[in-house]
Amino acid sequence: MKYLGYVESGDEKCASSVVLPDFPGCFSAVDDEQDLNKAVQEAVELHFEGENFDLPTPLTLNEVQNLPNFDYPGVWMFFEIDADKISTKLQRVNITIPTNILTKLDALATSQHISRSGMVRQLVEKT
């Protein structure tokens, strides 16, 4: 999904920065403007880390141009946000693993008093 960010160009002394009005308090800065897209994605991921949410409907270019907090030199740019990297909505999946691994997984989950799904989540989050 594409979201607008307000970009202030940097120079030799200051980094380039981007503010994302759809995500209050979410911003990023980079020394190389080529890294802006990656930095914006990382900033949004961190902004919502551990939260259960629906992504907001993106503001339009017309709507952001009338926002009062953006009266300093900069330009509006669209940034593609990969919602799959930040969504915490549950999804049912079907996996195939060897019986001996499943037995170990179940034993580990039982020892921690959590479900098989909870154990898989914990293991993945640790990596």
Model confidence at 127, pLDDT cuts 50, 70, 90, reads confident
Using pLDDT thresholds of 50, 70 and 90, give the confidence band for residue 60: very high
> Are 76 and 56 part of one and the same domain?
yes
- Structural domain range at position 115: 90-127
Tell me the residue type at 106: D
CATH number at residue 123: 1.10.1220
Q: Look up tokens 């979201």; give the residue.
A: 3
Supply 83's token pair: 């919602």
Q: What angle do CA 32, 49, 26 make, to 5 degrees?
A: 45
- Among candidates 83, 72, 73, 71, which has minimal Cα distance to 22? 83
Look up residue 50 and give its DSSP letter. Answer: T
pLDDT digits (tens, 9 = 90+) for 64-107: 988 888 888 899 999 999 988 877 677 788 999 999 999 999 99
Asked if 75 contacts 10 with a C-beta cutoff of 8 angstroms, the reply is no
Q: What is the structure's pLDDT at 72?
A: 87
| pLDDT greater than 90 at residue 111 | yes
Domains identified in the chain, total number: 2
What's the CATH number where 51 sits?
3.30.160.250
State the Cα–Cα distance between residues 17 and 27, nearest whole angstrom. 7
Please indicate, yes or no, whether residues 118 and 81 belong to a single structural domain of this protein. Answer: no
Helix H, strand E, coil C: the string for 75-123 is EEEEEECCHHHCCCCCCCCCCCCCHHHHHHHHHHHHHCCCCHHHHHHHH
